[in-house]
């Protein structure tokens, strides 16, 4: 299929989805540009800039299936112009009276930047759909496991107990903010571009602003109010939001990957009977989705950085950053669509081992109760003095292979009943109210309330 691994018949599914490719592949891109030209001609005809018959002929002829794409490609190479090949290809199939009205009075970026806005909007719809699905699954997980105790971990080490519901709610809370950003940003990002040679619309005289308004309306894009050929913040902001979305999904993927380790064994991502973890170690069940979410997020971040670089432009037209966008933006969109689809499947099929979570708490010999014991001792000894005393008792408990609670009782700092209450508390961690509130808030967002 291609020299790039991302286009390989064997590996392409890891770097794009069919729906995303249907936005960015050659035929789709050309058809989007043709749609822009049709909208332009229709708006120009309404204002009497070109004959209505020409606009109608362009509307009929501007179909990618009617074009000789090999001719378009050869003309693009011959003329060394980004869209002259498309213009010449379209002129071939249009009646003579309409051919001179193709691309009338506009410039390359009017067509391609408007096409980019349409592609971003289509991508946003796919991402929003899958993010909503992921959020629905995460809130279900959080709701189901609001009381499922597990070890909370800091710096990779067991700390104090939490619930798996709290962890899932944390994921949902972060992803929900991205959904808000995604739904609120469209009015800023999805705009048409019509400026002509240097952004003045001078070719159209006093009709310029009205033409831009009609043109944008026909594509259901916002009127930017001014040319933005060298103002590239929209694409940069959009792709950086996609980078944040994939970063959140990578956080989830990494967590699943870490907790799937047999030594921990609290989560397992879904697998199939045909999946092979290793051709030399048949026992392995690799967390392929979790780790690939991290891979995708790394590349999305790198390409979104290219989009940020594209904001540094020169004068009224600058091909350097603009053409870098031609490469970076589709990559970000393709990889993000892959990430949200993969994360959706991972979360939907996630296996939660409640028994293993409880066993890991038990295996701590009660040491996960240290925060609760500190809380009980602080009023008696002072917080810092209590912390220092517990440090000493913890070392002693480890030497004597006893629980920390027992060591506290032996030292006469708490009664057996008081210590037992602290230990029992690790099986009923706090923060259930936070989980409930987060689940309610995210579900309200999904319901549009």
Residues 6+ positions from 186 with CB-CB distance below 8 Å: 121, 124
Cα–Cα–Cα angle for 393, 396, 402, rounded to 5 degrees: 95
Query: Annotated catalytic, 13?
Result: no
The Cα 347–Cα 175 span in angstroms is 13
Strands 149-154 and 157-163, by their bridges, are antiparallel
Query: Could you tell me how far CA 412 lies from the centroid of its own chain?
Result: 54
Whether 99 and 143 have beta carbons less than 8 Å apart is answered as no
Catalytic option among 13, 97, 231, 278: 278
Exposed (0-12), middle (13-18) or buried (19+): which is 325, by Cβ within 10 Å? buried
DSSP calls for 82-115: TTHHHHHHHHHHS-HHHHTTTTTT--HHHHHHHH
Could you give the 3-state DSSP secondary structure of residue 294? helix
Which of 80, 155, 283, 315 is labelled catalytic? 155
Question: Is 187 a residue of the active site?
Answer: no
* C-alpha to C-alpha distance for 226 and 180, rounded to whole angstroms: 27
Burial class (CB within 10 angstroms; exposed 0-12, middle 13-18, buried 19+) of 260: buried
Please give the positions annotated as active site: 155, 278
């Amino acid at each position: 299929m291609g020299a790039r691994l991302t286009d390989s018949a064997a590996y392409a599914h890891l770097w794009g989805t069919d729906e995303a490719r249907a936005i960015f592949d050659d035929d789709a891109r050309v058809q989007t540009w043709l749609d822009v030209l049709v909208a332009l001609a229709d708006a120009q005809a309404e204002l009497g800039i070109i004959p209505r018959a020409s606009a109608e002929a362009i509307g009929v002829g501007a179909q990618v299936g009617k074009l000789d794409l090999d001719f378009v490609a050869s003309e693009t190479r011959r003329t060394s112009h980004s869209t002259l090949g498309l213009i010449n290809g379209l002129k071939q199939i249009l009646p003579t009276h309409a051919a001179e009205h193709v691309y009338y009075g506009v410039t390359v970026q009017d067509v391609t930047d408007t096409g980019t806005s349409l592609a971003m909007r289509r991508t946003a719809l796919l991402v929003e759909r899958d993010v909503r699905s992921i959020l629905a699954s995460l809130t279900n997980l959080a709701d189901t496991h609001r009381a499922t105790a597990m070890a909370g971990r800091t710096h990779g080490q067991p700390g104090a107990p939490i619930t798996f519901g709290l962890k899932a709610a944390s994921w949902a809370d972060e992803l929900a903010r991205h959904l808000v950003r995604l739904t609120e940003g469209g009015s800023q990002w999805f705009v048409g571009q019509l400026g002509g040679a240097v952004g003045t619309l001078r070719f159209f005289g006093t009709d310029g602003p009205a033409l831009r308004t009609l043109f944008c309306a026909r594509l259901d894009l916002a009127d930017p109010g001014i040319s933005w050929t060298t103002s590239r913040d929209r694409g940069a902001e959009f792709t950086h939001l996609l980078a944040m979305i994939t970063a959140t999904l990578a956080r989830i993927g990494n967590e699943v990957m870490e907790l799937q380790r047999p030594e921990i064994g609290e989560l397992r991502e879904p697998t199939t009977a045909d999946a092979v973890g290793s051709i030399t170690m048949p026992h392995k069940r690799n967390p392929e989705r979790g780790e690939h979410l991290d891979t995708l997020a790394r590349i999305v971040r790198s390409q979104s950085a290219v989009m940020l670089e594209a904001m540094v432009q020169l004068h009224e037209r600058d091909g350097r950053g603009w053409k870098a966008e031609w490469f970076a933006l589709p990559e970000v969109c393709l990889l993000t669509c892959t990430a949200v689809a993969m994360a959706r499947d991972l979360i939907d099929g996630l296996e939660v081992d409640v028994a293993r979570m409880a066993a890991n708490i038990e295996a701590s010999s009660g040491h996960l109760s240290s925060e609760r014991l500190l809380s009980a001792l602080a009023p008696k000894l002072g917080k810092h003095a209590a912390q220092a005393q517990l440090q000493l008792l913890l070392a002693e408990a480890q030497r004597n292979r006893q629980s920390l609670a027992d060591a506290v009782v032996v030292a006469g700092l708490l009664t057996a009943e008081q210590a037992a209450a602290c230990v029992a508390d690790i099986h009923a961690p706090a923060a259930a109210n936070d989980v409930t509130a987060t689940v309610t808030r995210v579900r309200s967002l999904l319901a549009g309330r």
